[in-house]
Amino acid sequence: MNGVLIIDKPGGFTSHDVVNRVRRILNQRSVGHLGTLDPLATGVLPLVTGNLTRLAQFYTTSEKCYQGVIRFGFATDTYDAEGEPAAPRQPVTLNLDQVVALAAAFRGVIEQMPPPFSAKKIHGVPAYKLARKKKEVVLQAVQVEIKEFEILGVDADRARFRARVASGTYMRSVAHEMGQRLGCGAHLESLRRTAVAEFMIADAHTLEQLEETARAGRADDPSATFEECFVHPRLLLPQFPSVTADEANVARIRAGRPVNLPEFSRAPQVKIFSSQKDLLAIATRVAGTLFHPKIVLV
């Protein structure tokens, strides 16, 4: 099975937990994910299987969309609801206009300090491993981009939000810094990822749905069992134009040789299919209309 599957990750699971569960359901070892999601968070977790795990390199800087809740009144050591309170809780009643104005200050390109409990590495060691051992975690601020950040409403000490951010942005850090600026502390109470690149929550499957599909499927043809769960290959990497190669070019590409694609003289990269659904390769333009296969998938 070579494909991309969108899972609606449940809360309490690590991304690796989901990968392991899907490996068992599909009975396939070659499964990976396109970017981690915190255990607290739910929502879009795209998985790649089989040969299409090689597509991961094209999604390292993918844009992401979120909805969530920030709770004001106290910060935590993890910057989210799973952590220990960093100070006693303060009574807070939020003013919508005040929180909306505060959120506006975070939009655009900003310097952000990653959470100490994060996958950021310090001398090759993930920061969260040092933090768990109560060792000093010294991280450097990084430049991130928050393209949209809207406060949808407030209720007592909680603010609901929607955000669209560039890769590498921590909404936990946004919540923490908002609490610092208001002087009352804050943390991310809940987070749901609604999109990663072209993958949307409306197209996601729960682990339970995937297991039900497996139980009702065909033992003689596992690929057919899960076919409708996978994203159609033509919908992948929509920023790249696609072409269906003839037999001669299919043979050249499988041999790792360049092909001439005169209709794509300006495209930097092209998806090449051997049929309507079989993604054969991603090719990069090397000169004029000459394209060399960057990766061959079939």
Closest CA to 231 of 28, 3, 2, 1: 3
User: Which CATH fold topology does 234-296 show?
Assistant: 2.30.130
What is the structure's pLDDT at 265?
Answer: 85
Which range, 60-69, 134-143, 213-222, has the best average confidence (pLDDT)? 60-69
Please report, as a single letter, which amino acid is at residue 29: R
| Cross-strand pairs, 244 | 273
What is the structure's pLDDT at 117?
Answer: 64
Which helix (H) or strand (E) segment holds residue 154: the answer is strand 142-155
- Architecture of the domain made up of 3-62+199-231: 2-Layer Sandwich (3.30)
Q: In CATH, what number does 69-186 get?
A: 3.30.2350.10
Q: Where are the domains of the chain?
A: 3-62+199-231, 69-186, 234-296
Please report, as a single letter, which amino acid is at residue 127: A
Indicate the pLDDT class of residue 35, thresholds 50, 70 and 90. confident
Indicate the pLDDT class of residue 38, thresholds 50, 70 and 90. confident
- Interval 154-176: pLDDT, tens: 999 999 999 999 999 999 999 99
What is the structure's pLDDT at 285?
Answer: 95
What is the structure's pLDDT at 136?
Answer: 53
What is the structure's pLDDT at 220?
Answer: 66
**Which has the higher per-residue pLDDT, 267 or 117?**
267
Poorest-pLDDT segment among 14-28, 96-110, 129-143, 237-251 = 129-143
Sign of the CA dihedral 104, 108, 111, 114? Answer: positive
Sign of the CA dihedral 183, 105, 94, 41? Answer: negative
Indicate the pLDDT class of residue 127, thresholds 50, 70 and 90. low
d(CA 245, CA 216): 36
Active-site residue among 38, 155, 157, 220? 38
What is the structure's pLDDT at 116?
Answer: 75
CA distances from 64 to 27, 32, 78, 203, 248 (A): 29, 18, 21, 15, 39
- Statement: the pTM of the whole predicted model exceeds 0.85: yes
Q: Do domains 3-62+199-231 and 69-186 have the same CATH topology?
A: yes
**Which has the higher per-residue pLDDT, 241 or 39?**
241
- Quick check: is 38 catalytic? yes
